[in-house]
Amino acid sequence: MITPRFIPSISLSAAVYRSIKVLGRYSTYYPPSYIEQIKKYFGKKYVVLFPQARIALFAIMKTLFDEDSEIIISAYNVPAVIDYLKPSGVILRYVDVEENGFNIDISNIVNAVNKNTKAVLISHMYGQAVDFSELISLCRDKGILIIEDAAQAFGSKIESKNEKLCGRLCGTCGDIGIFSTGIMKKFTTIIGGFVVTDRSELYHDIQKFKNNHCSPSMSRLPIVRDLAENLKIVISSNRYIFNIIFFFFKEYIRNINFDVKKDRAGINPETFSQDFLENYHSCLGIKSFEKFEIIKNIYSQNAVFFEKLMNDPGNEINTDYFNYLHYPVLVNNRKELIKKLNKIGCDAGPGKFCNYGGTECINSEKAVNNHINIPLHPGISHKMFKSIAAIIKIHRI
């Protein structure tokens, strides 16, 4: 029996119930309440909801920057992000990640800044927060925007020697924060995302772009899309159904390459419709806020337990700050390791990451070729963690 790589943090019954709840002609309009909860949690003045975080990225780039503007970004990234940034017309300048790590190296950003740099995109990978305190004054002096990609860091806090930054939530310290609430996240609305900021001019520009590229009327298509997305919940939240799917289609599923321009839900970033999806996401988001702290604590406790099993004093987890989505590890003989983990019932994998920086970004190349993500969701028992750790130790770099 294979334990899935992730388990949705919202139940199937809750998702289906809320699907029905927002289909009614006179259903409640939930976005205002959801937005207020987001503002309160993150302490931000403005929020813009989006169908997906990657679409929010596209909207930001298209709205705030001219074509040929230079954006500094981590070379260690996923096609879903890069393929939504490139059509916006900006120039992406890739810099390497930290040695034996996954987060962008701040010193590399400092060295890469030039007169053409308009923004820095900082991704907090796997819930590990980036301390970018030394960038703030540099970017402010040069008029460079700091955009935080906190898609994997909902609830994580920055640990820093800078008192103004230390303890603040990821996504709240730059000019703009981007969050994903996809099905694999601890805080989920099945698909969805949002942007937060305190700067009114940025908010109004982003909101205007969104309004101008959304259909004002509700169509049947978004409903069909969203109901299709709920099939993912059925598959992933029921272990027996998942195991059947995994057994017959494991290799096929792993090798699927989605066309990110059309995307899994068929959404074109310049012509998406929002009405039904936004109401449904908001309804689910309100429910997710109710149990998020419980879910977050489970992930944190599992990460601490696994870290102790790995006997790695140099990688001690401060749960007051970091809130891991997965536990990332650099390993040798990754294919062999994955087979061993599958045999004990653990579906672990590297994800679809690429090194966009070429041979100069050696740390990113290492991360792409040698990393594996250990699941931390509530479906993993302590017995399973002990078995995983015993195997990982043999292969760990």
Contact in structure between 71 and 93 (CB atoms under 8 Å) = yes
Can you give the pLDDT at residue 245?
46
Can you give the pLDDT at residue 252?
37
164-173, 271-280, 321-330, 336-345: least confident range: 271-280
- Rounded to an integer, the average pLDDT of 233-242 is 48
Amino acid at 251: E
What the block records as the tokens of 358 is 């070429």
Q: Tell which wins on pLDDT, 273 or 287.
A: 287
Residue 71 contacts by C-beta under 8 Å, 6 or more apart in sequence? 61, 65, 85, 90, 91, 92, 93, 117, 118, 119, 120, 121
pLDDT (tens digit, 9 = 90+) per residue, 64-107?
A: 999 889 999 999 999 888 988 988 899 999 999 999 999 999 99
Residue 146 contacts by C-beta under 8 Å, 6 or more apart in sequence? 119, 120, 122, 132, 135, 136, 139, 173, 174, 175, 176
Q: How far is CA 238 from CA 87, 114, 231, 311, in A?
A: 38, 51, 11, 33
Can you give the pLDDT at residue 24?
56
In the predicted model, is pLDDT for residue 335 greater than 50?
Answer: yes
Number of Cβ within a 10 Å radius of residue 268: 12
Can you give the pLDDT at residue 350?
81
Q: Which residue has the tokens 């299709």?
A: 228
Can you give the pLDDT at residue 16?
61
Domains along the chain?
12-212 (3.40.640.10)
pLDDT (tens digit, 9 = 90+) per residue, 196-229?
A: 999 999 999 999 988 887 543 323 333 344 445 4
In the predicted model, is pLDDT for residue 305 greater than 70?
Answer: yes
Can you give the pLDDT at residue 19?
62
